[in-house]
Structure 1
Amino acid sequence: MLLIMKIFPAGKRMKLFCLFLGFYLLAPVVKAQMTAGLTGKPDTSFTNYSAFKSAKKKYPQIRLVEEQPSADVKEERNIVYFRTGGIELRLDAFYPAGGRKAGGIPAVLIIHGGGWRSGNRSQHIPLAQRLAATGVACFTADYRLSTVARYPAAVYDLKEAVRWIRKNSRKYHINPEKIAALGFSAGGELAAFLGVTNADKRFENPDGNKKVPAGVNAVVDIDGTLSFVHPESGEGDDTKSISAATYWFGYKKAEKPELWKDASPLTHAGKPSPPFLFINSSVDRMHAGRDDFRKILQSFNVYSEVQSFPDSPHTFCLFEPWFDPTLNYISSFLDKVFGMK
């Protein structure tokens, strides 16, 4: 403005000033990504036991499923699969003790829930142990949560976990063309997102192992949303407190609607998508967009199925009487798409 005052005669100064002010007032306000919630520390609010205490109030008959080691399953814990930003990401391996099988066995990457902010890889060890006993190699993996890094960091991490599994397929007698992503809640959304972005390099870590494919060949989504912007979705309501997805993206839905849409699995569903199994509770908002997602898959002749438990909590898969049927649904699906038997 001082430059305008010096260069231009008085008659033009007011016109230029008004023009400058108009541009300033009409320019969009660019919101900075919020730093709230980036504590750098794990959020321990969501655990299997806390979920059990909450669900037991309405479902007093439930039983928390515990770890169950077996002579039929080998276990390796605390393996570093990737290093990024000074962080070591780890996984645990569970695989059949019987040795090699002609053609190799399927593998499953198991992704925990917790609102992209809490939870940890140990929460699905009982599922990994029991599934491994059926002849599948299972891997429960860490990923960066929203206390440490925003979206799409978790996607980057889990694609590197897939690469690690594929790179180590010979060691665990895995068929590298039979790798599934399985997740619960936020982990279900992430598993679905991995599946529908198999061919999209935008969602791979630029510093990752590009020599090994990061795609998955099937997806099991246990009560994970398919869209953050679908009318059925409950994500993004910040009226009482900051929502889990808002923490993860670092922007409110109204501030970056295109980001929330692009981060939704529903946006990317299409011809390259792998087969899907949806296992759902009776809490409809937890699988928002599922039916529209399946319609897209069906239009491209991509197989999908839904198994639902009426009158069940969101955390059903952690407890009996739902754990065993969930395990059976997963095993049946993997057999159907991978020909396990």
Structure 2
Amino acid sequence: MPAKSGGTMKANIHRRVLAVGWVCLGLVVTAQGRFEDPPNYTPGGLVPGEARFYGNLEYAKPDGHSLRLDLYLPKDLVEPAPVVVWIPGRDWDAANKKSCPISRFTKLGYAVASIEYRPSKIAPFPAPLHDCKAAIRWLRANASRFHLNEARIGAFGEAAGGHLAALLGTTGNVPELEGSENPGFSSRLQAVCVLYGPTDLVTLGEKQGPKGSVARLLGGPVAEKMALAELASPLSHVTRDDSPCYLYHGKRDRQVPEMQSILLYSALDRAGVRARLRFSSRGHGAWPSDMAFSDIHYFLLKNLAPQRLNPLVAER
């Protein structure tokens, strides 16, 4: 059954283990003065949370459209850092990579890559997904340069960004959805976190009508783009080898009904994929509480921390 918001003995145990895990992860990937800036890359200084910042790194240029990401590294690195890819977007046309809650992750030893992607008004689906996958492949191609752990990459997104994160988790290495930028590297992820993201675009698009955000993403009404709407739905791609998935949704969400997360959770669970669903009592766009974020970090630690350092490895 989906996890509920109330405090339980299991949740308390999770928080205690998570605290140990944070310390464990932090001790290994952060220590004074062991990481040097890569050649030809100069950090833009420190940002809140004491992260090293490399801004506007071009990761792809599809059809001449320059796509960039901001990379934040824990200030002092010893071992390659696991990576959280932040996928912005309350709408597929309104993605702002500056919206990333950087210190939530860097203070725990994660590197953060906050990416941009082509808005649907410029390039409809599958272009935004192609861009996200190109960013992941770029990170793997440049992992040694920036001291990243290419085997431990996860994605985190809200709303439209959550939809793309869910697709990343369910379409790893699906040829027709890979795109052509940065070939030679895998786009598979080790974990995804989906905050109130659409998962069934056929149902949601029909509800929104021909002028809704789903129709804009598809380049036309769902009635005229049914096959594309199914292709763009994470629910259509669930298989047993999908990435572990954390879903968070507000019960008062009127823009993306909670059933969108329930359907994906149920499909993943039936397929044998590690999945967790947590509800809040709030509406669309409400950020997780500190307690909910502790649960999210527990999930990330369990799936992204190197196994030999992971106090949760026995629970896998």
TM-score (norm 2): 0.77
Q: Give the 3 Å change call, closer, same or farther, for CA 267–169 of structure 1 in structure 2.
A: same
Partner of 1:110: 86
Partner of 1:256: 225
Partner of 1:89: 67
Partner of 1:180: 154
Partner of 1:200: 174
Separation in 2 of the partners of 1:329 and 1:95?
22
Amino acid at match of 1:167: A
Aligned partner of 1:330 among 275, 291, 296: 296
CA shift, 1:178, in A, is 0.9
Aligned partner of 2:57 among 76, 79, 100: 79
Q: Is the 8 A contact 2:152 2:305 kept in 1?
A: no
1:240-297 CA deviation, whole Å, 9 max, x = no partner?
x710010111121111222211210000011120100011122163444322322332
Amino acid at match of 1:80: E
Separation in 2 of the partners of 1:287 and 1:128?
27
Q: Is the 8 A contact 2:215 2:221 kept in 1?
A: yes
Amino acid at match of 1:252: P
Amino acid at match of 1:146: S
Alignment of 1:137-156 (within 5 A): 137-156=111-130
Alignment of 1:210-221 (within 5 A): 210-221=183-194
Partner of 1:267: 236
Q: Is the 8 A contact 1:94 1:129 kept in 2?
A: no
Amino acid at match of 2:51: V
**SS at 1:212 equivalent:** coil
Partner of 1:281: 250
Q: Does 1:191 align with 2:165?
A: yes
CA shift, 1:204, in A, is 1.4
Percent identity between the aligned chains? 27
Partner of 2:13: none
**SS at 2:53 equivalent:** strand
Q: Is the 8 A contact 1:106 1:178 kept in 2?
A: yes
| Structure 1 alignment gaps of length 5 or more | 1-67
Partner of 2:211: 242
**SS at 2:132 equivalent:** helix
Name which one, 1 or 2, has greater alpha-carbon Rg.
1
Q: Is the 8 A contact 1:226 1:287 kept in 2?
A: no
Q: Is the 8 A contact 1:75 1:92 kept in 2?
A: yes
Separation in 1 of the partners of 2:156 and 2:242?
15
Q: Is the 8 A contact 1:185 1:224 kept in 2?
A: yes
Q: Give the 3 Å change call, closer, same or farther, for CA 71–146 of structure 1 in structure 2.
A: closer
Separation in 2 of the partners of 1:176 and 1:185?
26
1:199-226 CA deviation, whole Å, 9 max, x = no partner?
20101113x2221111111110011011
**SS at 2:102 equivalent:** helix
Q: Is the 8 A contact 2:265 2:277 kept in 1?
A: no
Partner of 1:290: 261
Q: Give the 3 Å change call, closer, same or farther, for CA 238–305 of structure 1 in structure 2.
A: closer
Separation in 1 of the partners of 2:177 and 2:91?
20
Partner of 1:316: 286
Partner of 1:159: 133
1:79-128 CA deviation, whole Å, 9 max, x = no partner?
11111112110111111112122xx321011001132111311112xx12
Separation in 1 of the partners of 2:207 and 2:220?
12
Partner of 1:304: 275
| Structure 2 alignment gaps of length 5 or more | 1-45, 311-316
Amino acid at match of 1:265: P
1:174-213 CA deviation, whole Å, 9 max, x = no partner?
221111111100000000001111020101113x222111
Q: Is the 8 A contact 2:153 2:189 kept in 1?
A: yes
Q: Give the 3 Å change call, closer, same or farther, for CA 339–86 of structure 1 in structure 2.
A: closer
Q: Is the 8 A contact 1:196 1:269 kept in 2?
A: yes
Separation in 2 of the partners of 1:172 and 1:330?
25
Q: Does 1:227 align with 2:197?
A: no
Alignment of 1:17-96 (within 5 A): 69-70=47-48, 72-96=50-74
Q: Does 1:123 align with 2:99?
A: yes
**SS at 1:289 equivalent:** helix
Q: Give the 3 Å change call, closer, same or farther, for CA 243–112 of structure 1 in structure 2.
A: same
CA RMSD across the alignment:
2.0
1:119-154 CA deviation, whole Å, 9 max, x = no partner?
311112xx1232111110111101000121111110
Separation in 1 of the partners of 2:129 and 2:291?
29
